[in-house]
Structure 1
Amino acid sequence: MTHACGGTFCDNVGQPMPVDQSGEDILFVRDGTDIEVHVRIQYEGEAERFAWIVPIQAIPEVSVGSDPLFARLSQQTAPRWTIQRSYECEEDSPNYEDDGGGISFIPEEDFSGAGGPDVVLEETVGAFEVVVLQGGTAQEVVDFLDANDYAQDGAAEPILQDYIDEGFLLAAVKLTAGAEVEEIHPLSFRFQADEPCVPLRLTAIAAQEDMGVRAYFLDTARWAPTNYQHVTLNPLAYPWWSTNITPLMRYVELLSLAADEAGGRAFTTDYAGQTPPPNADIYDEGWDESVYIDADPVEALEYIVQQNLNTHPLVRQILLEYIPPPPDLGPNQFWSNIWEYTELIDLDAWDGQGFADALAERVIVPGMHAADLLDTWPYLTRLNTTISPHEMTVDPTFHVNPDLPMVAPQQVTSAPVLCGGDQLYEVAVDASADQGGSQTVRVCQPDWSDPPEFVDMPAALRIEQIPEMGPPQVIQDNSEAILASHAAWDSKVWCESNSEGGEDELGDDESAGGQADDGAMPQNVACACSSADDPGRVPVGLALGLLILAGLRPGQRRWRRRV
């Protein structure tokens, strides 16, 4: 099994303390008998010494990963929830314009010690020192890492022993001497293995509650969790109508609730479909490290701008190393006005060959490889979950299922605003066949009032187990409970328009409160929320609402709540 990430620790004033790890991004690429794993860790808090322990099955090839690659994957796959508002009366529109729009959710010192584990790999990769250990006991591994200045956490020892007993090697990673925490970058591990897996048992040592784990897969078909369940999120549980929390917080809360409903260990599919092409942030053919070899610092900065490398996240750290600003000047001020500060340049720090080598290793070569991955593999899957330390008792594994459909990252909801301010949300719900199948469910929010209060509304539409072939096996379908919760709200409120009716617009019968010929109420007179988009259904109490409406003068507003 392939393990993508592990425990992270830091050294705080000499006392080993866990890093407050808030998330992990992992990319898996299965290429024949090899699996390539790219890992980017997000964490909070200061760390004088940062250590990262990764269980792996075989001796890996380790290289610098590409941060812009993860940015590109996120850009393509992050959930996007879009509200498309339309206004029956133009004066209700802010600035007489549609205020709807997309909401996107859219981080060389020698090793000593005798006995214990064998050192089967030792090298410097980018800003990291990497050592791979094989054999020994967990206590011997801890002693070895302590002797070589790796921070440890006592709670990790029994978990390390479990991995050792299962035959895993342990890759230990720390920052090189003098490197700053800001220099942490993605790493890539490539080795022979059977299936992708995330070693959450070790991650639990440093994880926050409801830590986010996003797993990307590049292949020719869609990937799915094997030993974790899969959840389809309930679109009615997403608070389209609320503006007091950020879109990311809304989505994370919904995902956390749905995973908890599945027992705490479940992924949802944010995206499954075409791989995005590489962009210039990942790799640009104009990048050329050779021009820096014979350049002076001023010329080097000019080349950085000419090659559009000044915005790359890893270039800043290389510049800090080879063209450090003086103590009384900020980096941006110094580099942007280097001609004014030529006498302050630290020529002892400058090394053209070293700068070129660092640029190639940390930026150009990883970027070229990342672009090649996106060009080679046509299908991208993104699985997402939140999970708490006490739930990290089983490492999730994954498999390909070519029979699964594509998943678009964007959910779109129409939101007609009736004259006077009553608002409808038309939410697509893929309910079960016995509950009417896929349908549009209207949610009424009278006059921009308080959001709907759905009682006992599940966060997961479905909880599933996904086999290696064929459709998902449904464990729990919440369609009935979801539609019932909506119907309970629908029975208490309704939305209507206060626009002037009349014979010219609707005809005599309709203006008097009658129904249209097909039995449905014209939307510009009255709209009742319903649990299914059934034009023939007239909800209880609608006739009373029409009689009230017929007696209103234009412009009158009343609170409309059924009791």
Structure 2
Amino acid sequence: MIVALLALQLGSLVAPAYACGCGAMVADRAQRIGVDRETSAVRWDGRTEEIVMRFTVRGNAERAAWIMPVPSRADVALGDGALFDELDRLTRPEHRDRHYFWPRGDDWPFADRDMDGAGAAPPGASAADVGVVGRERLGPFDVARLTATDPKALSGWLEQNGFELSGRLATELKPYVEQEWEYVAVRLAPDDEGTVLRGELDPLKIRFASDRLVYPMRLSRLAQTPQSLGLYVLADHRMEPRDTIGGARPEVRFAGPIQPEGAVAGLTGGRGRVYLTALDQEFPEPSRIDGDHELRAVSDTPYREIVYTDRLLTVGGGIPVWLLTVSGVLMVGVATAVAVRVRRQRAGVRSAV
């Protein structure tokens, strides 16, 4: 699995904020929270997009808020935690043995111990400017779905609910307001008072209408440390980003048709075969991120990473083939020399007679 790693701190003690690959995380005034890992799976059928996210967090925050912009009205539900284990299994590299003939440094007689030479590799406005279109409790999450006509209004609403956003984050929200996007605001609060948010959180599934496959990334430009993005994309065809949006070239870890089962089938709605693409992308300088990812269909060429393990060629319970070969050649040589000598001796005896 290839899976994506994030540790993104923004702001100060007054207004701490953490960008994620898909949204922004904020904590209370004197507390800290960081996202060590974010894994996302995206399902798109040409009309509707679903994003399932699972966060692994650290810090000392007892509660936090996470904000994600979406292009249309969103439905929010808890995701299936087994989804990512299944996707990791489907996309893991294929392992093959690659044999070599002559012994190497870790093989006898060069080493005292027998090793297989394994080469395994690693995958200031009022709240009236904000409309609350829905609010529900999902496990440890208090989920609010919002509309906003002004980015400052969104900040104001969140502050009234116990959180503070930096001015930079409000600025980065402005393009979404101009495009009339909406927001999912999630309040992370454990059921037990005094419990710190730490470790792997329950996954969230966000569903909204979209005639294009878009993955919000703009807020990640606020990050002060390099970003890593990992995506599992389930669609009718192989999907890849249209451009780099300021990061390194996206890397395809897996591409191919699959027959969904279990949690994957739950995400795809029980439809038949779908095309799964697993992508990784690095953002060494997050400030260069200049937009959101829009993914497009490309040629359905399959790809799977192959990890080779180099092994010494052996037979019959581990006997090196090179040793048998050398021994055989020596035995043939000795036998030939003996035969030649015997013939010569017999020829000498016949000549003497």
Name the TM-score, length of structure 2 as normaliser.
0.71
The match for 1:469 is: none
The match for 1:212 is: 228
The match for 2:341 is: none
- Counterpart among 29, 38, 43 of residue 29 in structure 1: 43
- Describe the SS at the equivalent of 2:82: helix
- Counterpart among 191, 198, 214 of residue 178 in structure 1: 191
Deviations along 1:303-345, one digit per CA (max 9) or x if unpaired, are: xxxxxxxxxxxxxxxxxxxxxxxxxxxxxxxxxxxxxxxxxxx
Deviations along 1:230-277, one digit per CA (max 9) or x if unpaired, are: xxxxxxxxxxxxxxxxxxxxxxxxxxxxxxxxx634211000013365
Alignment of 1:4-23 (within 5 A): 5-11=22-28, 14-15=29-30, 19-23=33-37
Q: Does 1:408 align with 2:267?
A: no
The match for 2:116 is: 98
Match of 2:30, as an amino acid?
Q
Alignment of 1:119-268 (within 5 A): 119-176=132-189, 178=191, 180=195, 181-182=197-198, 184-205=201-222, 207=223, 209-228=225-244, 264-268=247-251
Contact 2:47 2:212 in 1 (8 A): no
Structure 1 residues 81 and 10: alpha-carbon distance in aligned structure 2, compared to 1, 3 A threshold: farther
Q: Does 1:45 align with 2:28?
A: no
Match of 2:289, as an amino acid?
M
| TM-fit CA distance, 1:82 | 6.2
Alpha-carbon distance in 2 for matches of 1:377, 1:150: 44
Structure 1 residues 80 and 47: alpha-carbon distance in aligned structure 2, compared to 1, 3 A threshold: farther
| TM-fit CA distance, 1:217 | 1.1
| TM-fit CA distance, 1:211 | 2.1
| TM-fit CA distance, 1:204 | 3.3
Q: Does 1:67 align with 2:81?
A: yes
Q: Which moved more, 1:386-395 or 1:152-161?
A: 386-395
Contact 1:16 1:151 in 2 (8 A): no
Alpha-carbon distance in 1 for matches of 2:269, 2:113: 46
| TM-fit CA distance, 1:64 | 0.5
Structure 1 residues 408 and 498: alpha-carbon distance in aligned structure 2, compared to 1, 3 A threshold: same
Alpha-carbon distance in 1 for matches of 2:309, 2:287: 36
- Greater relative contact order structure (CA < 8 Å, 6+ sep): 2
Contact 2:118 2:309 in 1 (8 A): no
CA RMSD of aligned residues (A): 3.7
Name the TM-score, length of structure 1 as normaliser.
0.46
- Describe the SS at the equivalent of 1:164: helix
| TM-fit CA distance, 1:29 | 1.1
Deviations along 1:190-218, one digit per CA (max 9) or x if unpaired, are: 1111222222221333x463322111111
| TM-fit CA distance, 1:38 | 1.1
| TM-fit CA distance, 1:499 | 12
Q: Does 1:387 align with 2:283?
A: yes
Alpha-carbon distance in 1 for matches of 2:98, 2:204: 40
Match of 2:183, as an amino acid?
L
Contact 2:118 2:310 in 1 (8 A): no
Alignment of 1:361-510 (within 5 A): 369-370=266-267, 373=269, 376-388=272-284, 389-401=286-298, 403-412=299-308, 414=310, 504=329
Alpha-carbon distance in 2 for matches of 1:210, 1:171: 25
* Higher share in helix: 1
Alpha-carbon distance in 1 for matches of 2:145, 2:259: 34
Match of 1:193, as an amino acid?
S
- Describe the SS at the equivalent of 2:207: strand
**Percent of aligned positions with the same letter in both sequences?**
23
Deviations along 1:66-117, one digit per CA (max 9) or x if unpaired, are: 2221122123224567674546346257754534264443xxxxxxx74121
Structure 1 residues 80 and 399: alpha-carbon distance in aligned structure 2, compared to 1, 3 A threshold: same
Match of 1:71, as an amino acid?
D
* Higher share in strand: 2
Contact 1:79 1:410 in 2 (8 A): yes
Match of 2:291, as an amino acid?
V
- Describe the SS at the equivalent of 1:39: strand
Alpha-carbon distance in 2 for matches of 1:376, 1:51: 37
Contact 2:117 2:309 in 1 (8 A): no
Deviations along 1:504-543, one digit per CA (max 9) or x if unpaired, are: 47x99xxxxxxxxxxxxxxxxxxxxxxxxxxxxxxxxxxx
Alignment of 1:542-561 (within 5 A): none
Structure 1 residues 176 and 117: alpha-carbon distance in aligned structure 2, compared to 1, 3 A threshold: same
Structure 1 residues 228 and 264: alpha-carbon distance in aligned structure 2, compared to 1, 3 A threshold: closer
- How many residue pairs match? The answer is 296
- Describe the SS at the equivalent of 1:74: helix
Match of 2:247, as an amino acid?
G
Match of 1:274, as an amino acid?
P
| TM-fit CA distance, 1:174 | 1.2
